[in-house]
Amino acid sequence: MLILQGVSYTHPNKDLLFDNLHLTVNNHDKIALIGNNGTGKSTLLKIIAGEVQPSDGRLIVDTSPYFVPQIFGQFNHLTIAQALKIEDKTKALKEILNGSVSEEHFTLLGDDWTVEERCSEALEYWGLMDLDLSQKIGTLSGGQKTKVFLAGIAVYRPELILLDEPSNHLDISGRKLLYDFIQSTQSTLIVVSHDRQLLNLLDTVCELSQHGIKVYGGNYEFYATQKQIEQNALHQDLQDKEKALRKAKEKERETSERQQKLDARGKRKQEKAGVARIMMNTLRNSAENSTSKLKNAHAEKIEGISRKLQELRSSLPDTDKMKFGFEHATLHKGKILFTADGINVSYGLQLLWAENMEFQIKSGERIALKGLNGSGKTTLIKLILGSMAPQTGAVHKADVQAVYIDQDYSLIHNQFTVYEQAQKFNTTALQEHEVKIRLSRFLFRKEDWDKSCSILSGGEKMRLMLCCLIISNNSPDIIILDEPTNNLDIQNIEILTNAVNEYQGTLIVVSHDEYFLQQTGIERVIQL
Mean pLDDT of the residues in the chain: 84
Residue 505 pLDDT greater than 70, yes or no: yes
Asked if residues 181 and 154 have their Cβ atoms less than 8 Å apart, the reply is no
Categorize the per-residue pLDDT at 271 as very low, low, confident or very high, splitting at 50, 70 and 90: low
The residue-averaged pLDDT of 209-236 equals 85
How far apart CA 245 and CA 252 sit, in angstroms, is: 10
CA dihedral 137, 138, 139, 143 (to 10 degrees): 70
C-alpha angle 37/211/164, rounded to 5°? Answer: 35
The residue-averaged pLDDT of 273-289 equals 57
Asked if residues 361 and 508 have their Cβ atoms less than 8 Å apart, the reply is yes
Categorize the per-residue pLDDT at 207 as very low, low, confident or very high, splitting at 50, 70 and 90: very high
Residue 290 pLDDT greater than 90, yes or no: no
Q: 308 or 206: whose pLDDT is higher? A: 206
Residue 291 pLDDT greater than 60, yes or no: no
Strand residue runs (E) in 26-85:
30-34, 56-61, 66-68
pLDDT at 104: 75
Categorize the per-residue pLDDT at 107 as very low, low, confident or very high, splitting at 50, 70 and 90: confident
Closest by alpha carbon to 474, among 428, 423, 410?
A: 428
Q: 222 or 97: whose pLDDT is higher? A: 222
Please state whether 341 falls in left (phi above 0), alpha (psi between -120 and 50) or beta: beta
How far apart CA 489 and CA 194 sit, in angstroms, is: 6
Residue 176 pLDDT greater than 90, yes or no: yes
The residue-averaged pLDDT of 52-63 equals 92
pLDDT at 315: 56
Categorize the per-residue pLDDT at 157 as very low, low, confident or very high, splitting at 50, 70 and 90: very high
Percent of the chain whose pLDDT exceeds 90:
35
Categorize the per-residue pLDDT at 120 as very low, low, confident or very high, splitting at 50, 70 and 90: confident
Closest by alpha carbon to 373, among 148, 127, 10, 93?
A: 127
Whole-model pTM: value is 0.72
Q: 81 or 305: whose pLDDT is higher? A: 81
pLDDT at 272: 61
What is each CA distance from 161 to 62, 127, 211, 358, 407, in whole angstroms?
13, 21, 26, 45, 28
The letter for the amino acid at 399 is D
pLDDT at 185: 94
Strand residue runs (E) in 63-165:
66-68, 160-164
Please state whether 434 falls in left (phi above 0), alpha (psi between -120 and 50) or beta: alpha
Backbone angles phi, psi at 424, to 5 degrees: -65, -25
Residue 322 pLDDT greater than 60, yes or no: no
The residue-averaged pLDDT of 72-89 equals 86
How far apart CA 200 and CA 223 sit, in angstroms, is: 10
Categorize the per-residue pLDDT at 489 as very low, low, confident or very high, splitting at 50, 70 and 90: confident
Residue 159 pLDDT greater than 70, yes or no: yes
pLDDT digits (tens, 9 = 90+) for 463-485: 888 888 888 877 788 989 988 88
What is the helix (H) or strand (E) element at residue 337, kind and residue range?
Answer: strand 336-344
pLDDT at 208: 93
Residue 358 pLDDT greater than 70, yes or no: yes
Categorize the per-residue pLDDT at 323 as very low, low, confident or very high, splitting at 50, 70 and 90: low
The residue-averaged pLDDT of 26-46 equals 91
pLDDT at 324: 56
In 3-state terms, what secondary structure has residue 148?
Answer: helix
pLDDT at 416: 92
How far apart CA 435 and CA 1 sit, in angstroms, is: 53
Residue 232 pLDDT greater than 90, yes or no: no
Residue 375 pLDDT greater than 70, yes or no: yes
Categorize the per-residue pLDDT at 160 as very low, low, confident or very high, splitting at 50, 70 and 90: very high
- Helix %, strand %, coil % of the chain (to 5): 45, 20, 35
The letter for the amino acid at 236 is Q
Q: How many helices (H) and strands (E) does the chain have?
A: 17, 19
pLDDT at 70: 85
The residue-averaged pLDDT of 189-209 equals 94
Categorize the per-residue pLDDT at 34 as very low, low, confident or very high, splitting at 50, 70 and 90: very high
pLDDT at 21: 94
Buried b (16+ CB within 10 A) or exposed e, 293-328: eeeeebeebbeebeeebeebeeeeeebeebebebee
Backbone angles phi, psi at 288, to 5 degrees: -65, -40
Residue 168 pLDDT greater than 90, yes or no: no
Q: 394 or 94: whose pLDDT is higher? A: 394
Count, residues in the chain: 528
pLDDT at 343: 93
CA dihedral 287, 288, 292, 294 (to 10 degrees): 20
How far apart CA 239 and CA 236 sit, in angstroms, is: 5
